[in-house]
């Protein structure tokens, strides 16, 4: 069966990882101000997950959205991790800081999905979300396809959620879901960027054939494409020298044309007609201002051809 061809998540989705304290703690006031700024600038699509700050992102995003008309925004969250109170939880686990004392328990069972959705709605303070994604199931494919997906499929059939899909870093695993299930959304992180275009080999064509909406996240490859001279990280680890050199060459090409690398990184994914929306993790007024500026920058067509030559070989190693 061909999945739905439309999605309410367009063209920019605000990701919620930073609102859960990714890399550094942030205050409730900081998050509220950033979300209000995003709203005032037209953002109406939001993504969060239990994983982000062990529920803290859901709590903060939900508290903000509860003040807005429900029919004016769309919201996605994820399943695959249950949260449990844990007085021995260590701050900074999984790079989230200033979080509640909770731990994550991986669970892709049908019962785990049901419990996850119920707990997410409680943290969000909302009666529904628009999209549910199976989160980071690359190493749990059998259970995710056999149990988590049917549970979400039933929720969609019953009208409890508008859309279902997966949120992954692995293009091949995401393609398996596209071909073996009737999901209607894929959120792919880091695999369709200026540097790493591995998703365009099989995943994007498969999504286009089956009418699956594609949300592209991780367009900076965890920092390398934001400014490789200052943050040489790729996939949240130190980037290999070859990748740093490619990113710096891309930055120089952009500078030659009088534009920034961040502008090219943000705009690249949206140029592909198979891509529905770009997910931005900007979590402060400063970073949101920069994101809006870079998205509106005018980039010359000849630059794209130069950047194509500097990307990793399509289908080649991304690590």
Range 12-243+260-298 classified under CATH 3.30.300.30:
no
Q: Where are the beta strands (DSSP E) in 138-243?
A: 163-168, 185-189, 213-217, 233-234, 237-238
21/100 Cα distance (integer angstroms) = 11
Q: Which of 52, 108, 149, 192 is catalytic?
A: 52
| pLDDT at res. 289 | 97
Backbone Cα Rg of the chain? 19
Identify the three-state secondary structure at position 114.
Answer: helix
CA neighbours closer than 13 Å in the CB half-sphere of residue 148? 30
| pLDDT at res. 2 | 41
13/31 Cα distance (integer angstroms) = 16
| Mean pLDDT per 10-residue interval, the chain, length 319 residues | 64 97 97 98 98 98 98 98 98 97 98 98 97 98 98 96 97 98 98 96 97 97 93 89 96 97 96 96 96 96 96 63
| pLDDT at res. 235 | 87
Buried b or exposed e, range 246-283, using 16+ CB within 10 angstroms: bbbebbebbeeeebbbbbbbbbbbbebebbbbbbbbbb
52 is catalytic: yes
Q: List the domain boundaries for the chain.
A: 12-243+260-298
| pLDDT at res. 293 | 96
Which long-range contacts link 281-284 to residues 24+ away (Cβ below 8 Å)? 281/15, 281/17, 281/18, 281/22, 281/217, 282/14, 282/18, 282/34, 282/38, 283/17, 283/18, 283/19, 283/22, 283/26, 283/31, 283/34, 284/18, 284/26, 284/30, 284/34
């Amino acid at each position: 069966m061909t999945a739905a061809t439309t999605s309410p998540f367009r063209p920019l989705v605000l990701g919620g990882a930073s609102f859960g304290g990714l890399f550094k703690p942030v205050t409730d006031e900081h998050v509220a101000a950033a979300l209000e700024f995003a709203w005032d600038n037209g953002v109406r699509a939001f993504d969060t997950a239990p994983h982000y700050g062990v529920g803290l992102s859901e709590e903060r995003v939900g508290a903000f959205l509860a003040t807005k008309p429900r029919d004016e925004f769309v919201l996605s969250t994820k399943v695959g991790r249950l949260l449990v109170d844990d007085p021995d939880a260590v701050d900074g686990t999984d790079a989230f800081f200033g979080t509640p004392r909770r731990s994550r328990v991986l669970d892709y069972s049908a019962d785990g999905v049901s419990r996850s959705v119920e707990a997410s709605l409680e943290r969000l303070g909302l009666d529904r979300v628009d999209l549910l994604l199976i989160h980071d199931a690359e190493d749990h494919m059998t259970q995710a396809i056999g149990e988590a997906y049917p549970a979400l499929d039933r929720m969609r059939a019953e009208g409890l959620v508008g859309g279902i899909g997966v949120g992954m870093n692995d293009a091949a695993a995401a393609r398996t879901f596209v071909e073996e299930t009737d999901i209607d959304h894929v959120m792919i992180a880091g695999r369709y960027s200026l540097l790493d275009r591995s998703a365009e080999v099989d995943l994007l064509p498969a999504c286009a054939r089956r009418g699956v909406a594609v949300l592209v996240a991780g367009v900076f490859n965890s920092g390398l494409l934001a400014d490789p001279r200052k943050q040489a990280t790729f996939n949240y680890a130190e980037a290999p020298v070859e990748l740093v050199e490619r990113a710096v060459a891309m930055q120089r090409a952009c500078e030659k044309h009088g534009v920034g690398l961040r502008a090219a990184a943000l705009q690249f994914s949206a140029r592909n007609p198979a891509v529905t929306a770009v997910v931005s993790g900007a979590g402060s007024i400063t970073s949101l201002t920069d994101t809006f500026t870079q998205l509106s920058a005018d980039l010359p067509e000849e630059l794209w051809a130069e950047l194509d030559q500097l990307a990793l070989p399509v289908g080649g190693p991304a690590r």
